[in-house]
Chains A and B, each alone.
Chain A
């Protein structure tokens, strides 16, 4: 009786463990089976490299290059803004910050990670848009802030993982505190910091609501930092509500393209983290 119970529960535990595999399989299947036929129908080249997105024209055109570029530009901008501040803040938290201050700042950074993206969006709408307009620049600034906690948290643990004797060795050679940190600890934590950047890229490219609220969302080739831009994520959310037929499938295909981007980013993150100290 007891042995049977053990066996049954073992099977139950095993089955629950398979749930994540099932989830990934279902997600892949449903996205691909709905998205790929649309890409086939539109033509991979027209879809991925087409510069015009006008689903309601006759004949409609479904080119998502503007959105692909939009996502890439906005993400790049977020990295330019968020990474330097984030990595330096991580250095501060790991090696500079007095203990008392740490108890205030660390929960602050955690809170920054916990703020919902719509709240960021509302903040951006009223605090950034009046200065920078509904533009790529606004989206970059807002996303730069949103990836901060990710970059800080992962860089901080990477810097902390460097053995203490690296730092002591540098001090022994006569380097000051900051020089030891920046020229010895930080280079040694390089792959961990890079992993933080990659994860930040993933966050930025997948972010949806906050971007929609500040980016303007015009579906045209991005022209300037001060003009509106539409990302892949925004394209899906904005049009899915009323899309039908091929238009709807093209939006799901947009999701497939985003999914592929994310998979590439995830794989590079795992590789980098495997190399981290």
Chain B
């Protein structure tokens, strides 16, 4: 039995003292998850490199594949202001995407950042409410988008009577990105050195002034990184929007009208099955957006890293 539990825990070696650490390290009995037999350096090197290559190859394949399929369908008519079944324009979807993203951020960013301020600057240690807030935040971040979609449909669309509308979609998205914003804001605020606050208090500023003049400006880049992640999540969202914002393919006149984002537009094209090529073209635009968003967030993450170092 000792054999089997040889490496079950690296800390509690004293309970299994029959084998010396050296014996344990070199005794190839096969308890390794992915490998049954002899583990040579070379063999391990090969599987490790191969897996990494597979991961990157898959990414490259997806991107190249989508571009090859979509680029031939990109033409000016795809960007006309109104959609019809001839031009299959993605412009209205692009405008709706920008609109819903902006509105969701307008709702979720203040909420998330203020909540993070409460958790980090105001709440006392061991506060029961704080534990509950953290727990619900974790729960929210694990809920799949289709469940958000169902909730949005039941609450915003039906219960509040907003119908399939930009507004219902926006609120659903706001709840969905709230935990993301809250967590990144919290991390960014915690990373602000206490000496900043002490300096501010020392100069006679109150808590509120310290928060708005010192803490939040210093945490701005970190918060921005979270916001950009949230933008990425919204841009890629489909399941939460189909039954909240609906699938109307035109530019909405007001927030009470239905509209589709780029992702929903793609799904609609695929389920209609008539304009798959234009669907791939939309996928190309969406991919470019996502690549830009990722580049932004990487750039900001680097700036956060070079700011007041967390490890300093």
| Interface residue ranges, A against B (CB under 8 Å) | 2, 5-6, 9-10, 12-14, 16-21, 23-24, 26-27, 30-31, 34, 84-89, 91-93, 96-97, 105, 107-112, 114-123, 125-127, 145, 148, 152, 166, 169-170, 173-184, 186-188, 202, 205-209, 213, 233, 236-237, 240-241, 252, 255, 258-259, 262-263, 265-266, 269-270
A109: chain B residues within 8 A (beta carbon): 55, 59
Q: A20-B140, A121-B267, A213-B270 given; name 13 further pairs at CB < 8 Å.
A: A16-B114, A19-B111, A20-B115, A92-B52, A107-B298, A114-B290, A122-B266, A178-B39, A183-B25, A183-B39, A209-B239, A240-B153, A266-B139
Contact with A93, one of B52, B122, B144, B238 (Cβ below 8 angstroms): B52
Q: Find out whether the CB atom of A84 lies under 8 angstroms from the CB atom of B34.
A: yes
Partner pick for B279 among A122, A188, A262, CB 8 A cutoff = A122
Does B142 reach chain A (CB closer than 8 Å)?
Answer: yes
Interface positions, chain B 113-149, Cβ under 8 Å from A, are 114-115, 117-119, 121-123, 129, 132-133, 136-140, 142-149
Closest to A109 in B: B55
Whether the pair A182, B39 counts as a contact (CB closer than 8 A) is: yes
Contact A258 B52 (CB under 8 A): no
Q: Which residues of B contact A265 (CB under 8 A)?
A: 142
Contact A17 B236 (CB under 8 A): no
Task: Please name 9 pairs of A and B residues whose Cβ atoms are closer than 8 Å in the assembled complex, sorted by A.
Answer: A27-B143, A30-B154, A87-B34, A93-B52, A116-B236, A175-B25, A178-B41, A183-B7, A237-B239
Chain A, residue nearest B60 (CB): A108
* Contacts known (A184-B25, A208-B238); A34 close to B263, Cβ less than 8 A: no
Any A CB within 8 A of the CB of B36: no
Instruction: Judge whether B10 is part of the interface by a CB distance below 8 angstroms.
Output: yes
In the complex, are the beta carbons of A237 and B286 less than 8 A apart? no
Is there contact, CB below 8 Å, between A116 and B48?
no
**In the complex, chain B residues whose CB is within 8 Å of the CB of A123:** 62, 65-66
Contact A173 to B21, CB < 8 A, known contacts A20-B115, A24-B139, A187-B7:
yes
CA A85 to CA B219, docked complex, whole Å = 36
CA distance A19 to B159 in the complex (A): 19
Complex Cα spacing A24 to B283, Å: 33
The contact string, 1 if C-beta is below 8 Å from chain A, for chain B 256-290, is: 00000001001100100000000110010011001
Closest 7 CB pairs of A and B: A206-B144, A116-B236, A88-B51, A178-B44, A13-B118, A16-B114, A92-B52
- Complex CA gap A30/B155 in Å reads 7
Complex-state Cα separation, A87 to B207, whole angstroms: 45
Please, which residues of chain B bring their CB within 8 A of the CB of A183?
7, 24-25, 32, 39
Task: For A108, list chain B residues within 8 Å (CB).
Answer: 55-56, 59
A114 in complex: contacting residue of B148, B270, B293, CB < 8 Å: B293
Chain B neighbourhood of A85, CB < 8 A: 51, 54-55
